[in-house]
Structure 1
Amino acid sequence: MPTSAVPDLTALALLVAVARTGDLAAAARESGLSVQAATARIRAVEQQVGARVVERDRRGRRAGRLTSRGVLLVEWAGPLLSAADDLGVAVAALRPARDGGEPVVPVAVASAAEGLLPGWLAELNGHAGASRVVLVDTADPAGAVRDGSAAVGIVETAGPLPGLHAATVATDTLVLVVAPGHAWAGGPGVDAAELAGTRLVTRLPGSGSRPALAAALAAAAPDAPVAAPARELAADTAVRSAVRAGAGPAVLPQQVVAADLAAGHLVEVAVHGADLGREFRAVWQEGTSPQGTARDLLRIATGGRIR
């Protein structure tokens, strides 16, 4: 859907404030807008909806009550506004670190930052006294923790991690998906060698779940020739869209495609003979106990197991 069909976040937050205060002027002040600017925002929403969302008084001026359509819009906008708040917290973590000893969280692959950190950061934001978390770009998060440049890291590396404590924070499974009209849809599935030899829609080299898939296929079918990707895209959202449009199969995290599978937009294809499970671990220096924000983040990530 084009974004022009969706009211902007400020307008939606304004309508929520109208619903809560029952007064347009108060809602405008709360939203940091003049009454004139607030009225213009509401007018724009009503043009998009094609009907009034705020009631008028006898003189035709907007009152502080929502119409039935306005109520529905506010209810439907709730998850979007909550998600926007969480995104704001996550975006703050993208800003470069400043001097002052802020804790940092390096990530091994984009999938850890994409799928795990936003929820953790949103929960952390509600903790009193939490310092700002800064994400660090590094290909070696375990090394960054070992040399003391980071308090805690998130890794996807299997096997031992010398010099570090580690705790599992999440597991997921990669799934092979195709468009409903694909030849594999509804079939018996494919084996690891066939999948390795198939041109897939993938993320860019080294990003998302691509390294995990490459490792799993190399372990399951070490002698199988590996086909070049059909397309290489920057984000899972773009990969999903391409697969739905018929660009080819893709292997993505199960949680990423769950809604598409439930709606029938994508079809899961069984993969035989390959372990497509993944494990993410939080790591910190052996013999130490993270303090402050790093400790709180670990508690959130591990479900409270770090004490």
Structure 2
Amino acid sequence: MALPTRVADLTGFDLLLSIAKLGSIGLAARAHGISQPAASSRLRQLETQVGVPLVDRSPRGSRLTNAGALVVDWARPVVDAAADLEAGIAALRAERDTQLRVAASLTVAEYLMPKWLAALPAGSAVALSSGNSAEVAELVLDGKVDLGFTEGPDLRGGLEAHSVGRDKLRLVVAPGHRWARRRINVAELAATPLISRERGSGTRRALELAVRPLDLAAPLLELSSTTAIKAAVIEGIGPAVLSAHTVAAELAAGTLVGVDVAGADLGRELRVVWRAGRSPRGLAADLAAIAVRGS
């Protein structure tokens, strides 16, 4: 329901409450941070709006008319309620500014995001979800998260992005695999069934582009978990291509062996993404800046 025109603007009623409390238009004007002429003008507008005189002015001060006293009694709870509404809205904005919804691809979520989040101001509340790069892009486009981090080479329409650094994919095998002590070429990699991430994964998409114009062989096994892929490789089921971040510990321990690939650029770009036309603000801007500096 639309507010009646006589009460749609509460600023005049708020001024009238101050006149009733302080006994002077001048003191009320000072309390509201406006000049006395501006206060007098606002009061005249209110009296025109209400349709009756509300204040008797005299050299000794200002006194409410009988009608003015009634209007003050009626206006006080309305103005107080408006103040409560404003305070509530301010609280919601403050809560929004200290809460951040983020989605990140699995590699970023597990291996990079923890140090980025630790650099945010103390008390920042972040809800983090993870998935493959296509799923992250969908969450951002749907407005379900404020910011996304992807590792795929493709940028969906409706998104804007900024690079947060480079990542390198590594071909890894078990120590007993026939590739463990040799270098292979891109044609051999493309022709060999791999233990692979699912479609929509940034890692899989980056590998598809790295072997072009060749096509990848059908996967030996598709898994949506990097941990599961590493376990399968260690068990000798087959080779896999994963982010260097995800296999660093296993390569250092010797449970996985890295294999060089001639003729393939296995580097890729990591990105922070947001909805087009809605540049990150507040905590989202802080996190994006931290990621750019920290990758």
Which structure features the higher share of helix residues?
A: 2
Match of 1:258 in 2: 248
Point out the structure with max Rg over C-alpha. 2
Cα shift at 1:208: 6.2
Q: Residues of 2 paired with 1:263 and 1:136: CA distance?
A: 27
Measured in 1, the distance between the counterparts of 2:125 and 2:286 equals 10
- The alpha carbon displacement at 1:161 in A equals 7.0
**Paired residues, what number?**
198
CA contact (8 A) 2:153 2:206 kept: no
> After the TM superposition, which residues 1-307 of structure 1 pair with which residues of structure 2 at under 5 Å, given as runs?
101=96, 102-107=99-104, 109-124=105-120, 127-135=121-129, 139=134, 141-142=136-137, 145=140, 149-158=144-153, 165-187=160-182, 189-207=183-201, 209-217=203-211, 219=212, 221-222=213-214, 224=215, 226-285=216-275, 289-303=279-293
Write the letter of the residue equivalent to 1:213.
L
Q: 1:250 to 1:163 in 2, by over 3 A?
A: closer
TM-score normalized by the length of structure 2: 0.56
**Aligned pair in 2 of structure 1 residues 300, 267: CA closer, same or farther (>3 Å)?**
same
Preserved contact between residue 162 and residue 272 of structure 2 (Cα < 8 Å)? yes
Structure-1 separation of matches of 2:157 and 2:224? 33
Shift of 1:198: 0.6
Give 1:304 shift: 7.8
Identical-pair percentage: 47
Q: What's the TM-score, normalizing by structure 1? A: 0.54
Q: Structure 1 residue 177: deviation in Å?
A: 1.2
Q: Secondary structure at the match of 1:104?
A: strand
What is the rounded CA distance, in whole Å, between the counterparts of 2:270 and 2:137 in structure 1?
12
Q: Mind listing any 5+ residue stretches in structure 1 that lack a counterpart? A: 1-99
Q: CA deviation at 1:216?
A: 1.9
